[in-house]
Structure 1
Amino acid sequence: MKTNQKENKLWWLAAGAAALMAGVAVYRKLTSYDFNGRVVLITGGSRGLGLVMARQLAREGARLVLCSRDANELENARMELAGNGADVLVTKCDVTSEEQVNSMITNVQNEFGPIDVLINNAGVIHAGPVAEMTIDDFKESMDTHFWGPLYTILAVLPAMKARGEGRILNISSIGGKISVPHLVPYSASKFALTGLSEGLRAELAKYNITITTATPGLMRTGSPRHAIVKGRHKEEYALFKIMDSSVLTSKSAEASAAKIIDALRYGEAEVTTTLPAIVAEYLHNLSPGLMNSVFSAVNSILPGEGGIGKNRAKGYESETELSMSGLTERTQKAAARNNEL
């Protein structure tokens, strides 16, 4: 008799769990956002993750607006996307300039239509010991990762509020939740973006404006070539590129973009990609002191100060036999595929 009662309880628990999962699936389907015909602005959209997201959104019928500081990169992206049937507008803009951002938003809204979705993706990476970083490095990171998104958000908000809807995706980083050695300016500025994004989500919900924060781990976009490296820059770059290329520590740009876009589609508050990033976040929440000790140990084996010191070199200026070896083949192929060369 007791056995039958236990079996009945287990059956009802299983049935309840299945019903709950089915209900959640139906709710997500009914509340999912349709990108077809929507105007989507992607900052830093001419290469890397921005371009990968643009490709995926174009396949869903989105009308794309890509902005970047590089006119040649923008034209390459436009030709590819338009050649595949996308409705796309490109515009040169430095998002660290409030004046340029306001002018861009006004022009886009007048010429292409109201911006339904804003994706703040523009980024810059400074890699090297914090002792080799300058105030200008920190300012550049903050200008790009905090002030740039703030300028674009404030510029699109009035029209979104007037329409009573809008979606905003802020591409932060797992480095915006856990500060990583040798990426301190990057992490500090991404922390600022994460805080901005979370606060805005709470305040803008009443206007039916949904904010999603992406905190991805390493993605194979090909972006290390454009990183700013300091100190013993060739060693820094080779290590960064190897980590970026390994399937153990990174995720493909395409898989990452799909997961991030789904989070935006379903109005999720946050999305973290890659297993290492998810595990690191869990351990950091469990014991920040332990994670700090782990990172201190990691820092002890990273390249030290010296080399070019506080001078800066781009990744592509720091190539060596190691950084161009088979260990980085995936990143090199991603760079060619995603307009990073």
Structure 2
Amino acid sequence: MKNTFGFQNKNGRSLGIVLAGVGLLAFARAVYRRATRLDFRDKVVLITGGSRGLGLEIARIVQEKGAAVALCARSEEHLNRAASELGGSVLAVAADLTRAGEAQRVVDQVLGRFGRIDVLVNNAGIMLVGPENVLEAEDYQRVMAANCWTALHMIQAILPHFRARGVGHIANISSIGGKVSVPHMLPYSVSKFALTSLSEGLAAELKKDYIHVTTVIPSLMRTGSPRNISLKGDHEEEYAWFKIADSLPLLSQDARKAASCVVEGIAAGDTEVFLTPVGRAASVMNGIAPGAVTTLMRWVDRFLPRSDSKHVKKGYESESEATRGIIGSRTDAAAARNNEL
């Protein structure tokens, strides 16, 4: 009996030491995160794709926290509306970031205005929805250029400045489509997988230079963006399933909440931020059981529309009775709020 109790006491002490060690590590991590947390007051935040949608919501939040904001997008019209709403010292720069020289021009212009850049948010991108049989190589190239090369060009343009200052923050807005390939969104998924890989690799390599890289993984969000996506195939049917899914509260996240999660992740210096538990679960499942996830995606594909049309239409050109109803009204309201009209 003595030996048994002695063995139990020894195990109890060992468990206590382990738990104390875990608690001490958790406490040290919390102290470190608090000490290194980014305060947005008087910081300069450059947001690509910042004139509407998630980018605009991020701009609103960091401005509320005291940051100076620089927005970059292709459309001068959307940029001017966003800058007018935000007011203050907002700088709006129109540029096509698929061209490396344009990225350098944007960085130089922001530095010329504010003297420094503290945070880069790579949010620029496009979406093309349609079945595989109507997609062409040019579709993949166009989406890849918008969703991955724009981020790479901006990062390469800004790194010399961050290295010279000895600090910097980069947030790359990827997607759950960059963790799990989604039917009828192949070019988008390909580009987001590439962006996720780039972001994760940079997070490892740039840490020694005190440059923090955060990979953001959103799921569906009610930003109002569906009306501006490109569609191939059966335009009305493709738009219907996408917009309805985007409007359902159980499937999509409020854009303001999503932007708050992004800003919090940047402030905390997180390496990866999943905006929804469903997105995290899907990513974990794809890592543990990729075959099962692929089987599920096959079933999803069976219910999606079929067509041979290679003609491209925008979402707003593909409205139908189904998308104009009460279900789609949430997305319409978000579009009005987030400068997507």
Larger deviation: 270-279 or 161-170?
Answer: 270-279
| Correspondences of 1:168-317 after superposition (within 5 Å) | 168-306=170-308, 309-317=309-317
Equivalent residue, structure 1, for 2:329? 329
Displacement of 1:242? 0.7
2:59 maps to 1:54: yes
Unaligned runs of 5+ in 2: 1-5
Structure 1: distance between partners of 2:227 and 2:60: 21
Displacement of 1:107? 1.9
1:203 to 1:18, Cα distance in 2 relative to 1, 3 A = closer
Structure 2: distance between partners of 1:5 and 1:328: 63
- Partner SS for 1:159: helix
Structure 1: distance between partners of 2:55 and 2:240: 24
| Correspondences of 1:44-83 after superposition (within 5 Å) | 44-82=49-87
| Correspondences of 1:109-124 after superposition (within 5 Å) | 109-124=111-126
- Partner SS for 2:215: strand
Structure 2: distance between partners of 1:249 and 1:284: 19
Give the residue type in structure 2 aligned to 1:326: I
Per-residue CA distance 1:289-327 (angstroms, 9 max, x = gap): 110000001101101123xx1110000000111111111
Number of residue equivalences: 336
Equivalent residue, structure 2, for 1:338? 338
Displacement of 1:224? 0.4
Structure 2: distance between partners of 1:238 and 1:328: 9
Structure 1: distance between partners of 2:23 and 2:332: 44
1:107 to 100, 109, 128: 109
Give the residue type in structure 2 aligned to 1:339: N
**Residues 39 and 113 of structure 1 are in contact (CA less than 8 Å); yes or no, is this contact kept in structure 2?**
no
Structure 2: distance between partners of 1:195 and 1:230: 27
Identity score, percent: 45
Equivalent residue, structure 1, for 2:319? 319
Displacement of 1:18? 6.0
Displacement of 1:136? 1.7
Displacement of 1:134? 1.7
Give the residue type in structure 1 aligned to 2:51: S
CA RMSD of aligned residues (A): 2.1
Unaligned runs of 5+ in 1: none
Structure 1: distance between partners of 2:217 and 2:104: 27
Displacement of 1:329? 1.9
| Correspondences of 1:82-101 after superposition (within 5 Å) | 82=87, 86-101=88-103
Equivalent residue, structure 2, for 1:40? 45
Give the residue type in structure 2 aligned to 1:279: A
Equivalent residue, structure 1, for 2:153? 151
Displacement of 1:213? 0.5
Structure 2: distance between partners of 1:163 and 1:10: 45
Give the residue type in structure 2 aligned to 1:210: H
Equivalent residue, structure 2, for 1:139? 141
2:169 to 150, 163, 167: 167
- Partner SS for 1:326: coil
